[in-house]
Amino acid sequence: MISFLKKWRSAKPENESEQPVIQEEKLVEEEVSSESDVDPETSMQLVFPMGKVNPIFLPDEVYVFRFAFSELPELETGVFAIDGYKLEQTMLGFSVLAFLRNSMDEPIKLEKLPVVLKDAVGTVIASNLFTMGEEGTEIPAQSCMPWRFKFPYDSFAVSTGDLASWHLEFHMEGGKTHARVQELDFDTTGQTWGEQHIKTEEQILSDIRQALVQTEGLVHAIGVSVNMKDNGDIEVVVALRNGRDEAIMLEADTVFTVYDAMGEVVASHSFDLSSVELSAFSAIPYTLLFPQASLQKQSPDFNEWSITQE
């Protein structure tokens, strides 16, 4: 198992100090505007996703991105590039902040983007096919856009790796990976480059147990995976966690609500969990089946999602 419970920078210099830990609270949306930052040497401007598009950034992240933007290496003309900036481990996998840079003379419209995470020796640590917003995302000509890529544990290809340095690349048709491309021949099928994923549901749960910081008195559900079935039902696997120092029985009428990347309600349903007992400081997997009748959104974007309980 890869276990790095701190942030890691892409090709981080030894003398570079770490930025403060960014808490996942107080979310804000940064919109593209005429006042976007511009690199005077390249005339490339820094833009942010508009509206309710994945991802949403924190104020501290926006500030750091503007500083990091000015420190990016010069990019040759006529290419589309990805530059990883910060990596951190969450309870569900790796979260990577990166820059997407377009030095072409035309905008680039992205709907799905296959990205791989490589370690210091070029080993593929994880790969994932990302949905770039519900209606896609446009990267304007001569611009740089920050993006958050999340690699869940079930996207990992190896169980160990050297993340002393790391980088992101695009997965191209034919199986090759590149960080700089002139043709957007991305492999968006997800049928070849995802075959080496090694994590099972039980391994994911094990990683969650080890990555979680004990929180006294907290009983909650952690989303693990979501799948929309052919009949319209939504199957959600959660880890039910008891952070108390004593065993508890769950309630008969527990309402769970699933949200998609847009922050919109996808489904909400009541479940009888009265037969579930949680030992002290434990987490167990549990499958929630949301019937089609509980569906409130027809085409959810599950590139990012969350689940709450009442």
Boundary of a domain, candidates 139, 162, 181: 181
Alpha-helix runs per DSSP H in 198-295: 201-211
**257 and 144 in a common domain:** no
**138 and 62 in a common domain:** yes
**163 and 216 in a common domain:** no
Q: Which residue has the higher pLDDT, 220 or 142?
A: 142
Q: Is residue 204 part of a domain?
A: no
Q: Residue 305 sits in which domain range? A: 212-309
**170 and 66 in a common domain:** yes
Percent helix, strand, coil in the chain (nearest 5)? Answer: 10, 40, 50
Q: Which two tokens stand for residue 302?
A: 């599950």
**127 and 19 in a common domain:** yes
User: Please, which residues have CB within 8 angstroms of residue 35's CB and are 6 or more apart in sequence?
Assistant: none
Q: Is residue 186 part of a domain?
A: no
- Answer yes or no: are the C-beta atoms of 25 and 61 closer than 8 Å: no
User: Please, which residues have CB within 8 angstroms of residue 70's CB and are 6 or more apart in sequence?
Assistant: 37, 39
- Answer yes or no: are the C-beta atoms of 98 and 144 closer than 8 Å: no
Q: Is residue 39 part of a domain?
A: yes
Give the whole-angstrom CA distance, residue 178 versus residue 284.
Answer: 39
Q: Is residue 280 part of a domain?
A: yes
Q: Which two tokens stand for residue 92?
A: 């569900």
- Answer yes or no: are the C-beta atoms of 136 and 83 closer than 8 Å: no
Q: Is residue 38 part of a domain?
A: yes
Q: Is residue 195 part of a domain?
A: no
Q: Which residue has the higher pLDDT, 165 or 274?
A: 274
Is pLDDT of 23 > 60?
Answer: no
- Answer yes or no: are the C-beta atoms of 237 and 287 closer than 8 Å: yes
Rg (CA), the chain: 20
Q: Which residue has the higher pLDDT, 126 or 56?
A: 126
Structurally, the chain folds into a number of domains equal to 2
The helix (H) or strand (E) run that includes residue 66 is helix 59-71
Is pLDDT of 85 > 50?
Answer: yes
Give the whole-angstrom CA distance, residue 207 versus residue 154.
Answer: 11
Q: What residues are paired with 270 via a beta bridge? A: 255
In angstroms, the Cα distances linking 129 to 123, 172, 230 are: 18, 12, 21
**29 and 144 in a common domain:** yes
**224 and 170 in a common domain:** no
Give the whole-angstrom CA distance, residue 63 versus residue 59.
Answer: 6
**165 and 18 in a common domain:** yes
**283 and 233 in a common domain:** yes
**106 and 157 in a common domain:** yes
Mean pLDDT of 156-168: 81
Question: The tokens 């960014």 sit on which residue?
Answer: 22
Q: Which two tokens stand for residue 132?
A: 């770039």
Mean pLDDT of 96-125: 92
Binning pLDDT at 50, 70 and 90, where does residue 32 land? very low
- pLDDT, one tens digit per residue, over 195-250 is 556 555 566 666 656 555 545 567 778 777 888 888 999 999 888 888 788 888 99
Q: Is residue 67 part of a domain?
A: yes
**265 and 137 in a common domain:** no
Specify the range with the lowest mean pLDDT, choosing from 32-46, 153-167, 272-286: 32-46
pLDDT given for residue 258 in this prediction: 93
CATH number at residue 269: 2.60.40
Give the whole-angstrom CA distance, residue 177 versus residue 157.
Answer: 15
Q: Is residue 2 part of a domain?
A: no
Boundary of a domain, candidates 136, 161, 181: 181
Residues, the chain, total?
310
Closest CA to 149 of 94, 191, 83, 189: 94
Is pLDDT of 16 > 50?
Answer: no
**135 and 225 in a common domain:** no
- pLDDT, one tens digit per residue, over 258-304 is 998 788 899 999 999 999 998 887 778 889 999 999 999 988 888 77
